[in-house]
Chains A and B, each alone.
Chain A
Amino acid sequence: MTITILNGNPDNGSSYFNSYITDLQSLLKLKGFAVRTFNLREMDIKSCTGCWGCWVKTPGECTIPDDSIEVRRAVINSDWLIFASPLIMGFTSALLKIMQDKIIPLVHPYIELVDNECHHIKRYDNYPKIGLIYGKEPDTDMEDIRIVTDIYKRMALNFKSELIFAESIEFEPEKLANEVIHH
């Protein structure tokens, strides 16, 4: 089993958030998972320009060469994709969102109906299960968590997958690792 973690924390210091991700990674490795964490703040990832080149020019591949190629390759060959970010202004970081926008090449432009809603069709046979780990802001409330979770549920649906968990870093990493293993 392989897991890809996208750490979208813009702070590089020895923050609690980063050490939580490191702890979780170690726990998952101990339990036999192959885990790869991308620290997005250290990578060169250019914003999606909405050119649709990845759908109509070089199908499946972004036309802007940057470090996101590596991320997409890891993501689509994983059993799990875990988005990780502190909440900033009530949502995951821009750093994470810029990378998230660039997973579009992994789906196909063609449309199908899923529960009578328009969605894109698969490009690959299998898609990773999705998890979300977030850090709260001082003013984060239940409504913020519901909003973020709902958006990631929708994102997972469009990514031909499912949001399996959305947990804050208050949740013990040991318990979270168990949740991933037993799902």
Chain B
Amino acid sequence: MKLSIINGSPRGKSSNTRIILEKIQEGFSSVDSTFELEEAYLKSEKDIARFRKMFETADILIIGFPLYTDAMPGIVKQLFEALDPKTIKKDLRLGFIVQSGFSESYHSEFIQSYLAKLSRRLGVEYIGTAIKGGVEGIKVQPKWMTKKYLSLFYDLGQQLALDWEFDENTMERLAQPKYLAGSRLMLTKFFIKTGLANFYWNSQLKENKAFNKRYAKPYSE
């Protein structure tokens, strides 16, 4: 039996997507270590044939990517276009992970609909799309913040090994918050008003000595 994982992040090995996919894999392996594991990075692999092969040989295939302009990154669309439903393994179980920068996961619900439809078009067994917001900055977020949701991805991996499905309840928990409301909305408003929301960007702008140019309009005519 084979579990294949495709990392569709344009950042490849230094991606936030990798941190999430590794958690799923860890969770999976902790339950079932008999599976053959294969992982591949869309960014670094020029040969699309390898990815097509994964659709033909895997029993479970997980594709993870960050949300780019409200959809899949261009390189992930390239992969989708290279697929031939006729050669794909008929009982392949296909699932997706979509992570985004904004804290609410609502932004990813639209690509979720696309991925469900794509799976039907490919004629595979769709096991779901787990969406998660607030992932940009995962490497600078304090451990207590990331620990909770990374352990949910670990759980998702464990349940995948047991049931060959993405657990609905875990996906629902990962998707929280879907919208900003209540105290979270108040806090976001406070962060924006005080400029704290821009801290992540400002520190990088300053590091690059580009802070004074942050409002540049290079194409203004």
Across-interface contacts of B198 in A (CB, < 8 A): 109-111
Binds B, one of A11-19, A22-30, A151-159: A151-159
B185 at the interface (CB under 8 A from A): yes
CB distance from B80 to the nearest CB of A (A): 5
CB distance from B111 to the nearest CB of A (A): 7
Across-interface contacts of B102 in A (CB, < 8 A): 111, 117-119
CB–CB B192/A60 < 8 A = no
The complex places the Cα of A103 from the Cα of B70 at a distance, in Å, of 12
A49, A88, A99, A116: the one contacting B185 at CB < 8 Å is: A116
Binds A, one of B50-58, B151-159, B211-219: B211-219
Known: A59-B213, A154-B70, A155-B69. A97 touches B110 (CB 8 A): no
B129 at the interface (CB under 8 A from A): no
Tell me the chain B residues, 97-144 only, with Cβ under 8 Å from chain A.
102-104, 106-107, 110-111, 113-114, 117-118, 121
**Count: A-B pairs, CB below 8 Å:** 159
CB–CB A77/B221 < 8 A = yes
Across-interface contacts of B114 in A (CB, < 8 A): 90-91, 147-148, 151
B68 at the interface (CB under 8 A from A): yes
Point out which of B10, B15, B221 has the most chain A C-beta atoms below 10 A from its C-beta: B10
A139 at the interface (CB under 8 A from B): yes
Known: A116-B180, A118-B103. A48 touches B73 (CB 8 A): yes
Nearest chain A residue, comparing its CB with the CB of B185:
A116
In the complex, which range does the number of interface residues on chain B fall in? 35 or more
The complex places the Cα of A144 from the Cα of B120 at a distance, in Å, of 12
Tell me the chain A residues, 35-72 only, with Cβ under 8 Å from chain B.
47-52, 55-61, 72
* Cβ proximity bits B76-102 to A, threshold 8 Å, 1 near / 0 not: 011011010000000000000000001
A3 at the interface (CB under 8 A from B): no
The complex places the Cα of A118 from the Cα of B187 at a distance, in Å, of 12
The complex places the Cα of A94 from the Cα of B104 at a distance, in Å, of 26
The complex places the Cα of A101 from the Cα of B110 at a distance, in Å, of 17
The complex places the Cα of A110 from the Cα of B215 at a distance, in Å, of 10
The complex places the Cα of A103 from the Cα of B219 at a distance, in Å, of 12
CB–CB A117/B104 < 8 A = yes
CB distance from B7 to the nearest CB of A (A): 12
Known: A97-B72, A147-B110, A147-B113. A110 touches B103 (CB 8 A): no
Known: A50-B9, A97-B77. A155 touches B71 (CB 8 A): yes
A57, A73, A91, A101: the one contacting B210 at CB < 8 Å is: A57
* Cβ proximity bits A65-106 to B, threshold 8 Å, 1 near / 0 not: 000000011001100000000001111011001111101101
Known: A101-B68, A151-B111, A155-B71. A93 touches B81 (CB 8 A): yes
CB–CB A93/B180 < 8 A = no
Across-interface contacts of A103 in B (CB, < 8 A): 69
CB–CB B201/A110 < 8 A = yes
B11, B111, B180, B217: the one contacting A124 at CB < 8 Å is: B217
CB distance from A125 to the nearest CB of B (A): 8
| Residues of A bordering B, CB below 8 Å | 47-52, 55-61, 72-73, 76-77, 88-91, 93-94, 97-101, 103-104, 106, 108-113, 116-119, 123-124, 139, 143-144, 147-148, 150-151, 154-155, 158-159
| Residues of B bordering A, CB below 8 Å | 9-11, 15, 43, 66, 68-75, 77-78, 80-81, 83, 102-104, 106-107, 110-111, 113-114, 117-118, 121, 179-181, 185, 188-189, 192, 197-198, 201, 204-205, 207-208, 210, 213-221
